[in-house]
Amino acid sequence: MGAPTTGNVAEADPATRAAPLRSLADRVRQVALFEVFGLVLITPGFSWASGTPLLDSIGLLAVLALVAALWNGLYCTAFDRLEWRLARRQADRRPALWRLVHALGFEGGLLVLTLPIIVAWTGLAWWPALVADIGLALTYTAYAYLFNLAYDRVFPIPAPRAAATATPGLLADTNTAPATSASDTP
């Protein structure tokens, strides 16, 4: 005989359950913290390495942060869904190799979005702008790995709640005897 079932196919087959994702409020907090901390930590180094005045660097990196924030929300949600579909794993349980793939994929996509902005903002030719963008991408890749690792530890995804709409009759197990307590036994 198999294990008792509730009659709910979604419960019986984990492949049909919805992916446990972060709430919209949690995702907004994640993106906002990522961009603010990134701007504060990375702007001074970019200004020094590029020779760009600090205020110009702040302006450029703020625009890039806005683009990155939009990309981050879209990319992380899509990656979380893909990871759930392929590995049946939540983002806060992501192993190191998947974290690396996540960070590299994010930065690769962001590079495509930000290179034209760097060229337009700085007046650099495409190759020097590409070098600057790659430098930012490498820096942000390391930062993204560490930030998301810390974020998942500090703000884990809550466990999914049981279905509130289930019919009590479907949840009853008719194949078992009534429960007994220690006081019921002689």
Residue with tokens 């990134």: 38
Give residue 17's pLDDT.
66
Q: Where are the domains of the chain?
A: 22-154
Own/partner contacts of 9-16, CB < 8 Å, gap of 24 or more, are: 10/163, 11/163, 14/88, 15/88
pLDDT in tens, 124-183: 889 988 999 999 988 988 999 999 999 999 998 887 765 544 444 444 444 444 444 444
